[in-house]
Amino acid sequence: MNALTPLSPGAVTPVSGCSTTPVVQERGQREVFCGLTGIVWLHRKIQDAFFLVVGSRTCAHLVQSAAGVMIFAEPRFATAILDERDLAGIADIDDELDRVVGRLLERRPEIKLLFLVGSCPSEVIKIDLKRAAQRQSRIHSPRARVLSYSGSGIETTFTQGEDACLASLVPVLPDEPANAPHSLLVVGSLADVVEDQFARLFDELGIAPCTFLPMRRATDFPPVGPNTSYVLAQPFLGDTSRALEERGAKRIAAPFPLGAEGTTLWLRAIADAFGVSPELFEKVTAPGRARAMQALSHSKGMLAGKRMFMFPDSQLEVPLARFLSRELDVEMIEVGTPYLHREHMAPELALLPEGLRIVEGQHVDNQLDRCRAARPDLTLCGLGLANPLEAEGMSTKWSIELIFTPIQGYEQAGDLAELFARPLNRRTRLEV
């Protein structure tokens, strides 16, 4: 199948595709979530962590509305809602946090790690949450550690909230021992099932030790240091990456593990960094790759030749466009992304069809005009736009599902394709 890059080392990052294509910059209303939304999946991932937003009623309403649409279970998040006394400086922030954090930890004895999460209002009135977190850590040590990061909309877009959260963890990760072996750190939230699949593959490839960030348990901090190579499993981790490099870790550049080809290239970049022989790599990855190809073929009939438009949302857009165009023959009309990390995205851009229209930033009304004019077969967009576009007769895929569904790796390649095929499939079934 021509979608699969041949197994020669040089093929990983050809300098072509969209590497030199100019990216259109757009400014205007951005129809995106703020970084607080990351709490919705992070609190599920780190099972004994709690996220306390220091913000307004809007923040509380946002997190609960986002969560209410997506999950319906007991939350490990809450909001300390600021009131006028806090704004006017009548109430002492330390006293207030002592009270709120105390009450919270008393109610939730299983919580080992608490994040104080900054918001737009807490940033604008300049509450120093870093200092506050240090104070709370001192008070509640060793029972719980308290860290802070900002998920505010003025600083973070949607998935950047995870970046900020993980970046706040990096400084507290333990140092690896002086003569530590070469180790692998996989960075970015993955569903547990995906993590386990990758861990098995790394084991078979002889890559050990291997750890993941975020960790499932708040106390299992992975060690880091100059003998650590890290690889990003998610494309939105610029700050975390920088923080890891400050600790001496080295990044393995790779496309992201979406689709059969993406997963192979990602795994191969890792295998190369650890000196795995091509024979062993082929032996370990061939079965998964074959299953992925087989699973992809189920959706290909529905997707091949279809025209697609992507609104910016999660920063997953560029890797998804690469996957859809190369492995499913989807024709991309426009790929929007809230932010394009040139360096991390270089291996992806090289693989994109030449001359593709990539738009960074957003002016939602102008973009809607372009989308309507293009009449794509499928539109990737956020929940605020999906039903209105469907009502105009356009098929949509809500982008947020791509964050909550296991989509990475060989075993999920077919599921990922199916997510895009399903809206089209559905349209063929309905006769009302």
Partner 1 sequence: MQLTVWTYEGPPHIGAMRVATGMTGLHYVLHAPQGDTYADLLFTMIERRSARPPVTYTTFQARDLGGDTAELFKSAAKEAYDRFQPQAMIVGASCTAELIQDDPGGLAAALALPIPVVPLELPAYQKKENWGAAETFYRLVRALSGTKRERPARTRPLCNLLGPTALGFRHRDDVKEITQLLGRLGVDINVVAPMGSSPQDLTRLGDADFNVVLYPEVANTAAQYLEKAHGQPFTKVIPIGVNATRDFIAEVAKMSGVDATALLAEESSRLPWYSRSVDSTYLTGKRVFVFGDASHAIAAARIAQTELGFKVVGLGTYSRKLAREVREAAKLYGVEALIADDYLDVEAKVAELQVELVLGTQMERHIAKRLGVPCAVISAPVHVQDFPARYSPQMGFEGANVIFDTWVHPLMMGLEEHLLAMFRDDVEFHDGAAPSHLGGKAQKSQDKPAEAIAPEPVAAMAPVDAAPAAAGAPIVFQWDDKAEKELKKIPFFVRGKARRNTERFASERGVATITIETLYDAKAHFSR
Report the DSSP pairing between strands 145-150 and 113-118: parallel
- Min separation Cβ 121 and partner 1, Å: 5
What's the CA gap between 270 and 126, in Å, rounded?
A: 41
Q: Which two tokens stand for residue 226?
A: 């100059």
- Min separation Cβ 252 and partner 1, Å: 31
List residues bridging with 309 in a β-sheet.
334, 379
Tell me whether residue 68 or residue 301 sits nearer to partner 1 (CB atom): 68
Output the 3-class SS for 97-140. HHHHHHHHHHHCCCCCEEEEEECHHHHHCCCCHHHHHHHHHHHH
Contacts of 110 (CB under 8 A, 6+ apart): 48
Tell me whether residue 61 or residue 143 sits nearer to partner 1 (CB atom): 61
Tell me whether residue 187 or residue 394 sits nearer to partner 1 (CB atom): 394
Q: Which two tokens stand for residue 232?
A: 């990003």
- For 24-177, strand residue ranges (E) read 24-26, 49-55, 77-81, 113-118, 145-150
Tally of helices (H runs) and strands (E runs) in the chain:
17, 14
- Min separation Cβ 317 and partner 1, Å: 17
- Interacting residue ranges for partner 1, rule: CB under 8 A: 29-37, 54, 56-58, 60-62, 64-66, 68-69, 74-75, 78-84, 86-87, 91, 96-97, 99-100, 103-104, 107-110, 120-121, 123-125, 152-155, 157, 365, 382-388, 390-391
- Min separation Cβ 114 and partner 1, Å: 13
Tell me whether residue 34 or residue 224 sits nearer to partner 1 (CB atom): 34
- Min separation Cβ 320 and partner 1, Å: 21
Tell me whether residue 119 or residue 285 sits nearer to partner 1 (CB atom): 119
- Min separation Cβ 84 and partner 1, Å: 5
Tell me whether residue 285 or residue 399 sits nearer to partner 1 (CB atom): 399
- Min separation Cβ 305 and partner 1, Å: 29
Tell me whether residue 152 or residue 412 sits nearer to partner 1 (CB atom): 152
Single-letter code of the amino acid located at 420:
F
Single-letter code of the amino acid located at 28:
G
Q: Which two tokens stand for residue 266?
A: 């990602």
Contacts of 37 (CB under 8 A, 6+ apart): 62, 63, 66, 151, 158, 161
